Amino acid sequence: MKVLVLEPAKCTGCRACMDACSFEKTDVFNPLDSRINVITFHEDLTFVPTVCSQCEIPYCAEVCPTSTLVKNTTTGLVDFLKEKCIGCKQCVVACPWGSIKMNHLGKEIIKCDQCSGDPACVKVCKAEALTYVDVEDMISSKQHGVAQAYRRIASEMQKGVNP
């Protein structure tokens, strides 16, 4: 299973992900219709991307009165079955992350579906703040990072350096 990994420290704030997402989904470039969002903090020029984390126990699905939102155990995604939606926005309120939202007209509910396994946002993220990787690879790369740190400490200790 693949996951969308966000690394805010790498984000350059170019917002190409937002343009690419809206174009993929609506054929029009409009960041307000993007499923992924980049927040800019002007005071210190920091950029934080946010997107649906496809929760294991999704609040949005729980409050949906028409079972429009369903956790898909095969793909790991929270599916949005558009034709069943009545637009009551309970999911929008329930999501504590703001990752399920209304489109720019305030009419339609939109959320990330990872473009059925080929996310448009990742393709334009040159800074690699967004990556789409196998969950195993993500974990093993984390483990690798930790192991590297241990290795460095161990070698310094051998040299008699107090880390």
Partner 1 sequence: MIDGGYQGTILRVNLTNRTVKEEALREDWAKKYIGGRGYGTRIIMAEVDPKVDPLAPENKVVIATGPLDGTTAPSSGRVMVITKGPLNNTIACSNAGGYFGPMLKRTGYDMIILEGKASEPVYLWINKGKVEFRDATHLWGKLVNESDQMMREETHLEAETMEIGPAGEKMSMIANVMFNGHRAAGRTGVGAVVGSKNLKGIVVRGNKGVSVADRDRFAEAVRSAREILAQNPVASGGMPLYGTAVLVNIINSTGSFPTRNAQDSFFPDADKISGETLRAQNLVRNEACSDCPIGCGRVTAIKEGKYKGEHGGGPEYEPLWAFGAMCGISDLNAITMANYLCDRYGLDAISAGGTVACAMELYERGYMPATDAPFPLKFGDPDALVESIRAMGEQKDAFGKLLAQGSYRLAEHYGHPELSMSVKKQEFPAYDPRGVKGIGLEYATSNRGACHVRGYSIAAEVLSPGLDRLVYEGKAAVTKFLQDLTAALDSSGACLFTTFGMQAKDLAQLYSAATGFECDEQEFLKIGERIWNMEKLFNLKSGLTGKDDTLPPRILHEPIVSGPSQGEVEDLGKMLGEYYSLRGWGEDSVPTKERLQELGIQDLS
Partner 2 sequence: MKHVIIGASIAGMTAAAKIKQLSPEEDVTVLSAESIQPYGKMSLPYMLSGMTWFANCTLPPVAGVDVMLNKQVDRIDPGSKTVHTTDGEEFKYDKLLIATGTSPVIPDVPGAKLSSVVGVRNVGDIEVIRKRIEESSQKRVILSGAGLVNAEVGDALVKLGIPVTYVISSDRMLSQIVDREASAIIEKSLTGLDVELLKGEDITEIQEKGDALEVRLASGKVLMGACVVYGKGVRPNTSFLKGTGVQLNKGIVLGQYLETSIPDIYGAGDAVETDDVLLGEKTLHALWPVAIEQANIAAANMLGMETPYPGDVLRNILTVFGQTIFTGGLSTHDEGEVYRHASDGEYRKIAVKDGKLRGFVFVGEGAENPGVYLRMMKEKTDISSMIDPVLYGTVTHADLYPSVFKVAL
Binding site residues, partner 1, CB under 8 A: 9, 12-16, 19-20, 22-23, 26-33, 40, 42-47, 104, 123-124, 126-127
Q: Which one of partner 1, partner 2, none is in contact with 159 (Cβ closer than 5 to 8 A by kind)?
A: none
Q: What are phi and psi of 102, to 5 degrees?
A: -95, 150
Shortest distance in whole angstroms from residue 68 CB to partner 2:
9
CA atoms lying within 13 Å on the CB side of residue 32: 7
- Cβ distance to partner 1 smaller for residue 33 or 113: 33
| Biggest distance spanned by C-alpha atoms of the chain | 67
- Cβ distance to partner 1 smaller for residue 27 or 56: 27
CB 52 within 8 A of CB 100: yes
CB 20 within 8 A of CB 121: yes
Is residue 121 within a helix (H) or strand (E), and if so which, with residue range?
helix 120-123
Q: Both tokens of residue 138?
A: 């993500």
Q: Which one of partner 1, partner 2, none is in contact with 12 (Cβ closer than 5 to 8 A by kind)?
A: partner 1
Shortest distance in whole angstroms from residue 162 CB to partner 2:
25
SS3 of 46, please?
A: strand
CB 110 within 8 A of CB 100: yes
> Which stretches of the chain bind partner 2, using CB under 8 A?
8-9, 37, 39, 41, 44, 46, 48, 50, 62-63, 65-67, 84, 86-90, 92-98, 101-102, 105-106
SS3 of 70, please?
A: strand
- Cβ distance to partner 2 smaller for residue 1 or 45: 45
Q: Which one of partner 2, partner 1, none is in contact with 86 (Cβ closer than 5 to 8 A by kind)?
A: partner 2
Shortest distance in whole angstroms from residue 37 CB to partner 2:
8
Characterize the bridge pairing of strands 37-41 and 46-50: antiparallel
Shortest distance in whole angstroms from residue 99 CB to partner 2:
8
